[in-house]
Amino acid sequence: MFKVFVDGQEGTTGLQIRERLAAHGQVQVLEIEAERRKDQARRAELINEADVVFLCLPDEASRESVTLVAPGNTRTKFIDASTAHRTAAGWVYGLPELNAAQRAAIQASSRVAVTGCHAAGFVLAVAPLVAAGLLPRDYPITCHSLTGYSGGGKKMIAAYEAAVESHALDAARMYALGLTHKHLPEMQTYTGLSHKPVFVPIVDNFYKGMAVSIPLHLRAMAAGITRAAIHAALAQHYAGQRFVRVMPLDAESNLEDGQFNALATNDTNRNDIFVFGNDERVLVVSRLDNLGKGASGAAVQCMNLMLGFDEGAGLAG
């Protein structure tokens, strides 16, 4: 049985990974003693004992953990849930559905960097359109991403849950308004865009769930491109994918009383993509669980590929 160590097991992502590994049932989870969580020597022991190490740590700590591999250890594989290695040389981006070669690249790799939650929804929505030539690489793209507060980790979770009675955090809040959010490098790199998008993340008073929305002006694209063509390109790209669905074009079934439910993929590893709009303007929306396909679910999906398990083991479709 493969051995797995979650370095950062008490963080939000680490706890979610452990939950999925418990449902997996085909790996042995190594645990570090609570009092030794920051003991580098003990962490090094577990890292070198494990077949797979999940890094659920701040960026610098993730980089440090990789250096703890003993000389000659070519067995231990890393899956990094931090931002540290997402565009780094020698690391494979952990998004199997990105293109025809990505799944095989993950299977063959010993160093995989899991997507950021906002980035997962954005890249899945935009990359196929750039690859198909429908969206120019220099398109001045904008993205708004609505997320639950669990994406901010323990500090933000505590702040929101402490404010329940005061209602101080009831309204949605934009953040990263310097437009330098840490997900931007991967959002540009893995879509093929020549410029970073104007990206505005928004946190709201719900625990988890995410809706990543990208508005497009058809007049700024090649002549003859329609929302139906955009939908068809996405549907063709994701045909046969287990965890990415392209929903019916403009169907009433996509809405609830005319409104979009950002929480409908919660507790799954699914990313649903929608195309709304009219003959002039289009809105592409990705919906996912920011703790699922946007973090822990994606990490376990990558582990399954790297160890030869069924891709969906331990994951809800």
pLDDT reading at 21 higher than 90: yes
Signed CA dihedral, 80, 142, 242, 266: sign only: positive
Which pLDDT belongs to residue 259?
96
**Whole-number Cα distances in Å, 96 to 49, 132, 229, 243:** 27, 18, 24, 10
pLDDT tier, 69 (very low <50, low <70, confident <90, very high otherwise): very high
pLDDT reading at 10 higher than 80: yes
pLDDT in tens, 247-305: 999 888 999 999 999 999 999 999 999 999 999 999 999 999 999 999 999 999 999 99
The span from the CA of 35 to the CA of 52, in Å, is 23
Which pLDDT belongs to residue 312?
97
Which pLDDT belongs to residue 163?
80
The span from the CA of 176 to the CA of 96, in Å, is 28
pLDDT in tens, 192-240: 999 999 999 999 999 999 999 999 999 999 999 999 999 999 999 999 9
Q: Which of 37-41, 80-84, 96-100, 294-298 has the lowest mean pLDDT?
A: 37-41
The span from the CA of 303 to the CA of 288, in Å, is 20
Type and span of the H or E element at 24:
helix 12-24
Q: What is the side-by-side strand order in the sheet with 27-30?
A: 27-30, 2-7, 52-55, 77-80, 111-114, 92-94
The span from the CA of 305 to the CA of 302, in Å, is 5
- Which residues are annotated as catalytic? 117
What is the residue whose two structure tokens read 């398990």? 309
pLDDT reading at 24 higher than 90: yes
Q: Which domains does the chain have, with CATH numbers?
A: 2-114+294-307 (3.40.50.720), 117-290 (3.30.360.10)
The span from the CA of 317 to the CA of 178, in Å, is 36
pLDDT in tens, 87-129: 999 999 999 999 999 999 999 999 999 999 999 999 999 999 9
Which pLDDT belongs to residue 296?
97
Which pLDDT belongs to residue 251?
87
Percent of the chain exceeding pLDDT 90 equals 90
Cα 313 to chain centroid, rounded: 18
Q: What is the residue type of 274?
A: F
**0.85 cut: is pTM over it?**
yes
pLDDT tier, 34 (very low <50, low <70, confident <90, very high otherwise): confident
Both tokens of 146, joined, read 């609505």
pLDDT reading at 165 higher than 80: no
Which pLDDT belongs to residue 250?
85
pLDDT tier, 153 (very low <50, low <70, confident <90, very high otherwise): confident
Cβ neighbours of residue 97 under 8 Å, at least 6 residues apart?
A: 103, 124, 238, 241, 243, 244
